[in-house]
Amino acid sequence: MSMDFKAGEVFAIDKPYHITSFGALAHVRYVLSHELGYKVKIGHAGTLDPLATGVLVLCTGKATKRIEEFQGHTKEYTATLQLGATTVSYDLEHEENEQFPTEHITRELIISTLQQFIGDIEQVPPTYSAVKINGDRACDLRRAGEEVTLRIKNVHIDEIEVTDFDAEKMLLSIHVVCGKGTYIRALARDLGRALGSGAYLTALRRTRVGDFTIDKCLDYEQIKEWLVQTDK
């Protein structure tokens, strides 16, 4: 099965932990360009946080015009939240900066509180995010010590399921089905507040974007081998 990367191919990789979406894309572009002998035009359809893993859809050549289409597709995530504390980025990029009471938190309270986040909701993106402010990424401004204020966005969450809750460690695992622009870190932040406590992500994995599921993703380290196979 020969592929035409100039005419346009769409595929997904399983983005590794601690690599930015742009870094992952740059790696794939380098491998493709090096192996094919010409610079491959490539873009990704929806940023994943550096500390998140999972489905990252890549479009090459003329298929880069379809990026917005793929960004609009339904997404699924699995996430683990630490309740009772926050970090400034609402994930493990930073140390805990505040602790909150958790004695009142039960599985029943969590399930009932989550109902307010299902459907069409308003959400303020985390300031440590790729949201652009006058051309600069909000996260870069924050890391440079600048104050950042982001606008409320309307997002849609189809469902949130509690998959595990460790009441002793206050660790909550959830499965989320949502639409474009939904930040799971913002959901963690807002859930923590709604519970009269705090919360941040300790793990985040995107398991689906539209028809692309984890089992259909290419291994980040096996791009060259995949190319060789598709050329046969």
Provide the whole-model pTM. 0.94
What does the domain layout of the chain look like in residue ranges? 10-72+211-230, 75-209
45 token code pair:
């359809």
Contact 174, 168 (CB under 8 A): no
Q: Which pLDDT band, with edges at 50, 70 and 90, does 1 fall under?
A: low
The third-level CATH classification (topology) of the domain covering 75-209 is Pseudouridine synthase (3.30.2350)
Contact 204, 184 (CB under 8 A): yes
**Is the pLDDT reported for residue 232 higher than 60?**
no
d(CA 69, CA 28): 21
87, two tokens: 């970090």
Residues near 154 by beta carbon (within 8 Å), at least 6 away in sequence: 120, 121, 122, 123
CA 54 to CA 222: how far, in whole Å? 15
pLDDT in tens, 86-134: 999 999 999 999 999 999 999 999 999 999 999 999 999 998 888 888 8
Q: Residues 10-72+211-230: name the CATH superfamily.
A: Pseudouridine synthase (3.30.2350.10)
Q: What is the pLDDT of residues 48-59, one digit of tens each?
A: 999 999 999 999
Backbone angles phi, psi at 213, to 5 degrees: -110, 165
Q: Is 190 a catalytic residue?
A: no
Beta bridge partners of 60: 42
Annotated catalytic residue: which of 49, 211, 219, 231?
49
